[in-house]
A and B are shown apart, each in its own frame.
Chain A
Amino acid sequence: MNLNVTKLMGWLAALTLVAGMVMGFGVAPRETTQGNVQRIMYLHVPTAWVAYLAFGVVLAASIAYLARRRAGADRLAHASAEVGVVFTGLTIAAGSIWGKPTWGTWWTWDARLTSVAILFVMYLGYLLLRGMIDDQERAARYCAVLGIVAALDVPLVHFSVYWWRTLHQPPSVLKPGAATMPPAILAALLVNVVAFTLLYVYFVAKRVRLLRAESEALA
């Protein structure tokens, strides 16, 4: 991505983040049963979405790398995995802070919590593998394989853990039928989703640029 476009993305992300905060703390009403704790959702749901988006990008970039062998695809996968791991961590942390007052516990072995935690460990392993192989081209190839295998595993993990146990809130936006949220809350949530998606694009663009500079400096 062009430097100016990247800068523009950064400013857009900052602006929408501010808008998201205003929407989340100002415009959206206090939820009656959960109180202000519910506002964590404006962080939790967007970061979770970005995490899945990031790992989807890792899959696509990995396939692209194995097919075309462009170093750019590999850098995109690398950057996206890093940002994805950070956002997965944020999702878990925010969820924990919400879970303590709501469920009465920081952590429970519920289906969705467990599968996100497994995802977190899986992609941490991906980054580890990258760091442990000295040869650049080989690291790219091996990580592409791992990126594909890990993504293939996600649905299996999802089903197995779901059958194992479940307690999480059923999804309230992406389900058939009308959303069961007041419009103000839904609007605040969507603004935050857009904001965090822009932030993701900005981070990845920055990281890809940095990785390119690194490999050019080493070459």
Chain B
Amino acid sequence: MAWKDLLVERRSKETLNSLLFFSLALLFVFQFALDADRERLSAVLPGLLWLAFILSGMLGLGRVFLVERENDCWEGLLLAPGDKSAIYLGKLAGSLALMFVVEAMVLALFALFFNVDLAPVLPPLIMVIALGTVGFAAMGTLFAALTAQARARELLFPVLLLPVLVPVLLGTVKATEAVLLHEPLAEVAHWLKLLVAADVIYVVAGLLTFDFILEG
């Protein structure tokens, strides 16, 4: 499943290209809004970083089930033999891959345009971002399936997803902040535990409930 989606994406590159330019445009918006005050920038950098991840992630994840919808393959998903949770895991893996690529691009753009030296903090930063992304993608994939058959799905998807993701957002922004300030990770251990708990709960909830979404 993941393999098929990645292959489609690699062939068409439509989502990835658009997201790259979208995040570039976002950087301009941030820059205009904050006017490049170094002090102010470093105070809000973790929040900005995650804002960029969320906005571009939401655009990307909202499309997860669009391929099936547009090409009338929803029935194909329904009729797929075997366990439906395998489809969920496949879609989740695809979402994760997409988000990691987008996040790598956004990070590089941030380092370049906002002149932030990320190299010394890269390993813990990657860990924190990965923890947050798993929760984000787990819920994002589930909700993309929930809203795929609804009217006004482009609107409904973020409206449903954002409030549910508040714990993940708070946790990752706090942890990212600590990492960027060169604080030891032990200081934010409670946030990391919360993130791990959220990731586990979201993935398990997705696995258990996905069957019911793909019934008809």
Task: Give a binary string over A104-124; 1 marks a CB under 8 Å from any B CB, 0 the rest.
Answer: 000000000000001001100
Does any Cβ of A come within 8 Å of B159's Cβ? yes
Determine how close the nearest CB of chain A comes to the CB of B154; give it in whole angstroms: 11
Q: In the complex, which residues 127-175 of chain A have their Cβ closer than 8 Å to any Cβ of chain B?
A: 128-129, 132-135, 137-138, 141-142, 144-146, 148-150, 152-153, 156-157, 159-161, 163-164
Complex alpha-carbon distance, A133 and B151, angstroms: 6
Q: Measured between alpha carbons, how far is A132 from B157 in the docked complex, in Å?
A: 11
With A134-B151, A159-B167 in contact, do A146 and B160 touch (Cβ < 8 Å)? yes
A91 and B146 alpha carbons, distance in the complex (Å): 30
Which residue of A is nearest B215, CB measured? A141
The bracket for how many chain A residues form the interface is 20 to 34
> Is B147 in the interface zone, CB < 8 Å from A?
yes
Residue numbers in B under 8 Å from A129 (CB-CB): 146-147, 150, 156, 160
Assembled-state Cα–Cα distance A134/B150 (Å): 8
Docked CA distance A160–B191 (Å): 8
B142 close to chain A: CB less than 8 A:
yes
Given contacts A118-B163, A138-B149, A156-B198, contact A161 B209 (CB under 8 A): no
User: B176: shortest Cβ distance to chain A, in Å?
Assistant: 14
Q: Which residues of A contact B163 (CB under 8 A)?
A: 118, 121-122, 125
Chain B contact-residue range equals: 20 to 34
Residues of chain A with a CB closer than 8 A to B149's CB: 133, 135, 138, 142
Residue A66 is within 8 A (CB to CB) of chain B in the complex: yes
Residue interface bits A189-215, CB-to-B below 8 A is 1, else 0 = 000000000000000000000000000
A156 contacts B205, C-beta separation under 8 Å:
no
Smallest CB–CB gap between B94 and chain A, Å? 20
What's the Cα separation between A121 and B159 when bound, in Å? 8
The answer to whether B213 has its CB under 8 Å from any CB of chain A is yes
Task: For A138, give its contact among B142, B197, B216 (CB under 8 Å).
Answer: B216
Contacts of A152 in B (CB 8 A): 201, 205
What residues of A have a CB within 8 angstroms of the CB of B164 in the complex? 122, 149-150, 153
Please name all residues of chain B whose beta carbon is closer than 8 Å to the beta carbon of A125 when the two chains form the complex: 156, 159-160, 163
Contact A160 B201 (CB under 8 A): no
When each residue 82-107 of chain B gets 1 if its CB lies under 8 Å from chain A and 0 otherwise, what string results? 00000000000000000000000000
Contacts A/B (CB < 8 Å), 8 sampled: A66-B212, A128-B159, A128-B160, A132-B151, A141-B213, A142-B150, A142-B213, A145-B209
